[in-house]
Amino acid sequence: MDFPTWMASIQQRTESALEAVLPAAELVPSRLHQAMRYSVLGGGKRVRPLLCHAAGAIFGADATLLDAPASSVELIHAYSLVHDDMPCMDDDDLRRGKPSCHKAYDDATALLVGDALQTLAFQGLATRLPGIAPARQLEMVQLLATASGSRGMAGGQAIDLASVGLQLNIGALELMHIHKTGALIRAAVLLGAHCGEAAPDALERVGHYANRIGLLFQVVDDILDAEASSEVLGKTAGKDAAQNKPTYVNILGVREAKTLAGELRADAHQALSTFGPAAIRLHELADFIVDRTF
């Protein structure tokens, strides 16, 4: 199976798994459930589920088993987008080409949608997975929680808020992104590995891969944001620049940011070297993340 076909198949099964775990739109309170489904279904590249399935495949995990952690990670990601888009945070009116949740519904509903999507992520991951020992499954719940909370994703968001208008050095920027996006990407990879038989040293190597991919993802995002603004004539400056947010491009310049992306990609590939062809999807995903840009 070539990469695009594999990717489409995982995206499709993730959509089905999310569709199944989300409460039906008719269930009371139906407006909340509609808004939850609106915010999760029918959009997104599903990068985290792809990483989860790709990592699980290395260790012989069954795809059916991987649907639960893949969906839970995506639900955490979706909740963070809904809350980040709210007026008191990034105040974004558009998400995935549609009005963001608080525009399509209202602020109070968006707040509850994010809250309930987070809850649903943990509910899904705590549902007994046949073939996984309950003690390991508890570890998986903890892993997702640690990655999502104040020492992970939510903490990264707080560091981001505190950084607006500041001159960050590259180390401080990296610290922010390790929390804000890196932690959840790492959780996606490790949860996939936990669904199979991964020895501690193998976990460490896929964890290292995940760390590189997490930063790579952000460096590429910053380059995309900067290049879009300079390419399109008459368009205002990139959103990050407009909001005076520190980015890799601000600190390093586009050329050096691209060099960094190349290094991170090479390092990610290197971390997978001992796994052989079993890691092909993770290799392909590293390239996919970069090839969005250049």
Min. distance of Cβ 153 from a second copy in angstroms?
9
Among residues 18, 40, 81, 154, the one that binds a second copy under rule CB under 8 A: 154
**Segment interacting with a second copy, rule: CB under 8 A, options 1-9, 63-71, 136-144, 183-191:** 136-144
- Applying the rule CB under 8 A, the residues between 31 and 90 that interact with a second copy are 31-33, 36, 79-80, 83, 86, 88-89
Among residues 111, 168, 202, 203, the one that binds a second copy under rule CB under 8 A: 111
CA 144 – CA 147 distance, rounded (Å):
5
Contact flag: residue 107 with a second copy (CB under 8 A) = yes
Look at phi and psi of residue 38 and say left if phi exceeds 0, alpha if psi is from -120 to 50, else beta. alpha
Among residues 14, 71, 148, 181, the one that binds a second copy under rule CB under 8 A: 148
Contact flag: residue 26 with a second copy (CB under 8 A) = no
**Segment interacting with a second copy, rule: CB under 8 A, options 58-66, 129-137, 220-228, 243-251:** 129-137
Instruction: List, as own/partner pairs, every contact residues 257-265 make where C-beta atoms lie below 8 angstroms and the sequence separation is at least 24, other chains included.
Output: 257/219, 257/222, 257/223, 258/223, 258/293, 258/294, 260/219, 261/216, 261/219, 261/220, 261/223, 261/290, 261/293, 262/290, 264/212, 264/213, 264/215, 264/216, 264/219, 265/212, 265/216, 265/289, 265/290
Contact flag: residue 25 with a second copy (CB under 8 A) = no
| Residues in the chain, total | 294
CA 150 – CA 156 distance, rounded (Å):
8
Min. distance of Cβ 280 from a second copy in angstroms?
33
Task: Please name the helix (run of DSSP H) or strand (run of DSSP E) that holds residue 218, with its range, or none.
Answer: helix 200-231
Quickly count: other Cβ atoms within 10 Å of residue 36's Cβ: 25
Contact flag: residue 146 with a second copy (CB under 8 A) = yes
Q: Which residues of this protein are in contact with a second copy, per CB under 8 A?
A: 23, 27-29, 31-33, 36, 79-80, 83, 86, 88-89, 106-109, 111-112, 114-116, 118-120, 122-123, 126-128, 133-135, 137-139, 141-142, 145-146, 148-151, 154-155, 157-159, 161-162, 175, 179
